[in-house]
Amino acid sequence: MAAIVLDGKQIGREIEGELKVRIGNLAGNGVTPCLAVVIVGEDPASHVYVGSKERACARLGIRSIRVDIPADAGYGEVVSTVKRLNADPEINGILVQSPLPNGMDEIAITDLIDPVKDVDGFHAQNLGRLVQGDKSGLLPCTPAGVMRMLESADVDLCGKRAIVIGRSRIVGMPQSLLLAQKGVDATVTIAHSRSTDMAALCREADVIIAAVGRSNMVTSDWVKPGSVVIDVGVNRVNDNSVKGYHLTGDVHPDVGEIASAVSPVPGGVGPMTIAMLMSNTVRATEMQQ
Ligand code: NAP
């Protein structure tokens, strides 16, 4: 039987509906949330992502400002921009689009952002809270979006085996923490490039979350029948289309024939990430009142 497709666009629209009410309440107090996006250099994919974030802000009535910094401007200019945005009471959320040009220390820049304006949820204070089991801060958008997607599909994680493939600071590691926290209670395996026998590890899992960046890596013979498979990966595969490429996930399309639910790429975790960024921007604004 074909798997249920977890429609991130639809769930994202539901989240936006909830946010509009909260944005309306803020407006009643004369407050409009404002997100500042800092983009350094000309990475084409980053410009596409920033465009999606700006359009989401426009849909919701969140003010967005964008600071473009040339790739050769130097680290000092990025630092002074973040400090200026931290000090500006009109700005409620700040994100510095990843990746930064070679040689710029992303973690150091992230830790300069005021934690109450850290809408990406990557500041050491926000990630540290998560380790302490405290979800009240600003959570990393992609892992939080995956959790919301699982919740929307009524996936009961308590006592279930979950595997997260990937251990990055922005996806895999916080994802594993969110799945393992009290109240969610999954038993989590964290896999990475040094893990051996990935197929066997995955076949033990009730939930597979692939966050690697390798096209179609998770194949149907890795998946236990009835598992839930969430595909975080976004891979550009060159082709002869007008764009010159198409997007694939880390999960092979055949997995849909054996899993009970799968998230598509595009249209799965991507829209959830944007929705959670909007949610964090509203939350940051509320916390600052
Ligand atoms: P990353 O920082 O490059 O991390 C990739 C992780 O995958 C690392 O932990 C790496 O292991 C692991 N890995 C690499 N090759 C592997 C292999 N053969 N087997 C098992 N694990 C392997 O990437 P990321 O930022 O976490 O992003 C992962 C993917 O998600 C990318 O495709 C990215 O574009 C996508 N993404 C999507 C969204 C969205 O909104 N949809 C948001 C963020 C990221 P090591 O730690 O050992 O190197």
Q: Is 210 in the pocket of ligand 1 (CB under 6 A)?
A: no
Q: What is the predicted pLDDT for the residue at 283?
A: 98
- Mean pLDDT, to the nearest integer, of 25-53? 96
Which residue in 114, 117, 118, 120 is the catalytic one?
120
Please say if the pLDDT value at position 17 is more than 90: yes
Please say if the pLDDT value at position 1 is more than 80: no
pLDDT tens digits, 89-114: 999 999 999 999 999 999 999 999 99
132-136, long-range: CB < 8 A, 24+ apart: 133/181, 133/182, 135/178, 135/181
CATH superfamily, region 30-115: Leucine Dehydrogenase, chain A, domain 1 (3.40.50.10860)
120 noted as active-site residue: yes
Q: Is 270 in the pocket of ligand 1 (CB under 6 A)?
A: yes
- Ligand 1 center to residue 17 CA distance, Å? 31
Of ligand 1's listed atoms, the one at least distance from the Cα of 145 is: 40
Q: What is the predicted pLDDT for the residue at 211?
A: 98
Q: What is the predicted pLDDT for the residue at 137?
A: 87
Q: What is the predicted pLDDT for the residue at 12?
A: 98
Lowest mean pLDDT among 100-104, 215-219, 231-235: 100-104
Q: Is 233 in the pocket of ligand 1 (CB under 6 A)?
A: yes
Q: What is the predicted pLDDT for the residue at 213?
A: 98
Give percent of the chain above pLDDT 90: 97
- Ligand 1 center to residue 208 CA distance, Å? 14
53 noted as active-site residue: yes
Domain limits, CATH 3.40.50.10860, in the chain: 30-115
Domain limits, CATH 3.40.50.720, in the chain: 141-269
- Mean pLDDT, to the nearest integer, of 36-62? 96
pLDDT tens digits, 246-286: 999 999 999 999 999 999 999 999 999 999 999 999 999 99
Candidates 8, 181, 168; CA nearest to 98 is 168
CATH of the domain spanning 141-269, picked from 3.40.50.720, 3.20.20.140, 3.40.50.12500, 3.30.43.10: 3.40.50.720
Q: Is 171 in the pocket of ligand 1 (CB under 6 A)?
A: yes
pLDDT tens digits, 178-207: 999 999 999 999 999 999 999 999 999 999
Candidates 161, 211, 151; CA nearest to 188 is 161
Give, in degrees to the nearest 5, the angle at Cα 183 between 181 and 188.
Answer: 40
Q: What is the predicted pLDDT for the residue at 136?
A: 87
Please say if the pLDDT value at position 115 is more than 90: yes
pLDDT tens digits, 126-171: 999 999 999 888 999 999 999 999 999 999 999 999 999 999 999 9
Please say if the pLDDT value at position 221 is more than 90: yes
Pocket test for ligand 1, best of 212, 272, 276 (most atoms within 8 A of CB): 212
Which residue in 97, 175, 231, 250 is the catalytic one?
97
Please say if the pLDDT value at position 24 is more than 80: yes
The residue nearest atom 47 of ligand 1, judged by CA position, is 193
pTM for this predicted structure: 0.98
Quick check: 57 and 64 in contact, CB under 8 A? yes
Q: Write down the mean pLDDT value for the chain.
A: 97
